[in-house]
Chain A
Amino acid sequence: MNLTLRVWRQAGPAAAGAMREYRAEGISPDMSFLEMLDVVNEGLIAKGDEPIAFDHDCREGICGMCGMMINGAAHGPQRLTTACQLHMRSFSDGETITIEPWRATAFPVLKDLVVDRSAFDRIIQAGGFISAPTGSAVDGNAIPIPKLDADDAMDAAACIGCGACVAACPNASASLFTAAKISHLGSLPQGQPERSRRALAMVAQMDLESFGGCSLFGECMEACPKGISIDTINTMHRDFLFASATKRDVKEWSGGA
């Protein structure tokens, strides 16, 4: 296959960026999208050009490191598929492909297609955990967990933190990411003691990070490579409202008054 690529190039966080055009020739339909970029990059280096910077690591759809807008869609045209698992057979010979970084104020571009997603880590820091210091645990079978609850928790816990939900959202909201963690931990008995505090703190941090609000457009769910359900956002809203209504939690979380 021979393709034309239109790629966002930006030298650094403060530099201005622009779209540049490249030819990708002799591409096999069995290549992954990132392998196609590898081939283009080897050509660029040979010509004395700088290769296109993009984030990636596992290349098997689980680490969440890769991510780019491909023809306007987060991770490209194939549903439930990360960019690293997308294959060139999803495109046709002669096509022009537009490749851009995630676009969101909370995800500043570092270089070309590489963005800074550390805001996600800070949302988890705010409350995306169960406090269980090492050594303090009871036997794993001491608290039975209904299979369906464990399954719900696993569905939400499948999030890979790639940021596609933010990139796909017209408001650049991080609601699906945050809600997935709140739902995962809230589905389990171990997650109950901190449930209200978690909802208050994570939602507050999400707002602090200049993500947009959620209007339940549902684009996030369409773009999510792991199929995280938008129902998790309802759970997040419920937990947040419940926690806000319970004065005790609000006071405790904000340090008391």
Chain B
Amino acid sequence: MTLDAKIPSGPVAEKWEKHKFEMKLVNPANKRKYHVIVVGSGLAGASAAATMSELGYQVSCFCYQDSPRRAHSIAAQGGINAAKNYRNDGDSVWRLFYDTVKGGDFRAREANVYRLAQVSVDIIDQCVAQGVPFAREYGGLLANRSFGGAQVSRTFYARGQTGQQLLIGAYQALEKEIAAGGVKMYSRHEMVELVLVNGVARGVIVRDMVTGEIQSHAADAVVLATGGYGNVFYLSTNAKGCNVTATYRAHKKGAFFANPCYTQIHPTCIPVKGDYQSKLTLMSESLRNDGRVWVPKRKEDCAKAPGDIPEQDRDYYLERKYPSFGNLSPRDIASRAAKEACDDGRGVGPGGLGVYLDFADAIKRLGAKAIEERYGNLFEMYERITDENPYKVPMRIYPAVHYTMGGLWVDYNLQSTIPGLHVIGEANFSDHGANRLGASALMQGLADGYFILPYTIGNYLAQAKLEKVTTEHAEFVAAREAVAQRTTRLLNIKGTRTVDSFHRELGKIMWDKCGMARDRAGLEWAIKRIPELRAEFWENVNVPGSASELNQSLEKAGRVADFLEFGELMCRDALHREESCGGHFRTEYQEEGEAKRNDDAFAYVAAWEFAGEGKAPTLHKEALEFENVHLATRSYK
């Protein structure tokens, strides 16, 4: 199979307009005859479900939480980018496009990124109309800030709760459509299998998480909006329930998985405290606007109280290495530099896995009051978790897994390699290349859900010749049967180890060998070790309770079983990509300590095809062409 990204012809700035005109439309009276399944209710899923219902389609939406309002988009703090140029500071669609392609280290598809920048402006308008309480100036106009190293102020925000407010906006639109009868919502329902009929996605199998009932749902198209796979590392800033099951199940049914090794490690998280740690907490990147990052120059000083280390014995390593961006260097660079300092034995705090983020200078310069106004809620959150007062002692931070740029491969229409299966938001791979810029995740989720998928799905439905399918079709019956068998198998093992203990062990392998820095030997070891752990899981896991009740251990077991396969795929991708780019850093490929891309050999999307249980996956390549943003070494020095 050759990958066809279906990128429209013509200049990049005209592709989307042209494509919108050329797409087939579904007759308004016919829309209600089409039924679309949306799995996931975060920014992408909720906005897509609501918008498709407004257009007249019948939508069924599923989420594993008790309400669609809980989806993890809610936790995004910083903001959402849009090329509004309200500040008159030289921003434009073109600049946002350029920044995103460059920030992604030239591993994203230009046409998609340009479209993202184009629709970014509509997103803000849409959200304002829904009542999202963005920050305002005294004159009543929208406020902006510069974020994540951008040199223009294009980030819109709602205090430190931008994700929450955008999600609640989309959630309210979704609830409005539920009341109007266009969307049927299934909360506490988890997708456990994708169903194909004649090679086309026609439905899903879900588990009702309260009763345990295994249900079939048939439709004319399926949309996955199920987020990222950061929890393969066990410890991440993702919500506890985030998982890879929906996308991985689709992968096993034929959807190619693209660039799984591209993961984003966020530089400003609260360090790990102990082995009981269940998740990591992110501190907004905006802190780096005023905080200075440092470690002691000498290992011997690490145990000292930070106040006892005089200025000349401190290494403000970001300012030293990257004088023009300093503390605002992009996420991947800041994260790696922290790891290097700690690997060098100069980390601070328990286990030496932390660096200081110090506000003393900013407090001296601006006063504690000004700092409180800017970061009061973040300082409070830090103190609540660590019991340390950041106004008095520097914060300790350490990088943590935060976002995954990889995901199911999709074409320009957001359709996967399985006809009828569309993938949106973090679950697809499309827009961020090898590294995502700050405040771009919310933008992409809403762009896909409000403004792109509702068009492209119509184009698909208008042309697909779909036979009538019911849930009694042999494919549904077989899928249900397979799910039931897998569940029984998990419950019958009755071994001696808990699900969590396997998850933690997998997470440690992934973090050590496929985390911030990777090398051939480590990856090869992991590719050997993960199947052994998987085998042990299937022999020795202990899943208490039964299938026909609310059973949180069983839910976790299903997810961890998929992570145990997926982790291996990630390592294979990381091993094959013999270059460093964005969030993927191979220690063998560097120049003076900086990531070294290899554009001649690796300027492509790696899309992996499932080849069968126990077989190595097949690699397909989509060549990336850069016609508008010229390939250049990313330098922040």
Contacts and interface: CB of A to CB of B under 8 A. Distances in A.
A45 B498 contact: yes
Contacts of A60: 75, 279, 281-282, 381
A89 B386 CA distance: 10
B54 interface: yes
A64 B544 CA distance: 27
Given A59-B240, A134-B126, A38 B276 contact: yes
A190 B70 contact: no
Given A59-B240, A141-B141, A110 B54 contact: no
B136 A137 contact: no
Interface string A50-66: 11010111111111110
B128 A190 contact: yes
A46 B499 CA distance: 11
A31 interface: yes
Given A65-B70, A111-B550, A134-B50, A129 B173 contact: yes
A57 B70 contact: yes
Contacts of B51: 133-134
Contact of A35 (B54, B137, B165, B277): B277
Contacts of B125: 137-140
A137 B273 contact: no
B130 A190 contact: yes
Interface string B610-637: 0000000000000000000000000000
Contacts of A64: 69-70
Contacts of A53: 550, 552
B446 to A, nearest CB: 10
Interface residues of B, number: 80
Contacts of B185: 121
Contacts of B124: 140
B568 to A, nearest CB: 26
Given A63-B239, A125-B176, A140-B84, A57 B65 contact: yes
A60 B241 CA distance: 13
Contacts of B74: 58, 62-63
Contacts of A50: 544-545
Interface in B363-412: 381, 384-387
A144 B137 CA distance: 9
Given A32-B278, A55-B66, A130-B172, A137 B122 contact: yes
Size category, A interface? 35 or more
A48 B496 CA distance: 10
Given A124-B175, A137-B122, A144-B139, A154 B133 contact: yes
A58 B239 contact: yes
Interface in A125-150: 125-126, 128-141, 143-147, 150
A65 B122 contact: no
Pick the most buried of B47, B68, B172, B187: most chain A CB atoms within 10 A of its CB: B172
Interface in A171-220: 184-185, 187-188, 190-191
Nearest to B136: A150
A59 B450 contact: no
Interface stretch (A1-9, A112-120, A230-238, A249-257): A112-120
Contact of A145 (B71, B72, B136, B279): B136
A153 B131 contact: yes
A38 B500 CA distance: 10
A207 to B, nearest CB: 17
Contacts of A188: 131, 133
B352 to A, nearest CB: 17
Contacts of A34: 278
Contacts of A111: 549-550
Nearest to A11: B549
B129 A190 contact: yes
Nearest to B159: A154
Pick the most buried of A34, A53, A121, A184: most chain B CB atoms within 10 A of its CB: A121
Contacts of B328: none
Given A58-B74, A147-B137, A140 B175 contact: no
B142 interface: yes
A30 B553 CA distance: 25
A63 B241 CA distance: 12
Nearest to B77: A62
Given A87-B384, A118-B187, A124-B172, A63 B131 contact: no
A144 B141 contact: yes
Contacts of A45: 498, 542, 544, 553
Nearest to B139: A144
B483 interface: no
A128 B70 CA distance: 16
Contacts of B128: 137, 140, 143, 190
Nearest to A43: B498
Contacts of B498: 42, 45-46
Interface string A214-228: 000000000000000
Interface of B: 47, 50-51, 54, 65-72, 74-75, 84, 86, 122, 124-131, 133-142, 158-159, 161, 164-165, 168, 171-173, 175-176, 178-179, 185, 187, 210, 239-241, 273-274, 276-279, 281-282, 381, 384-387, 450-451, 454, 498, 500-501, 542, 544-545, 549-550, 552-553
25 contacts: A11-B549, A35-B277, A38-B278, A45-B542, A48-B544, A57-B241, A63-B69, A63-B75, A81-B384, A117-B66, A117-B67, A120-B67, A121-B67, A121-B68, A121-B69, A121-B175, A134-B50, A137-B125, A138-B125, A140-B134, A143-B128, A145-B136, A146-B138, A184-B131, A190-B130
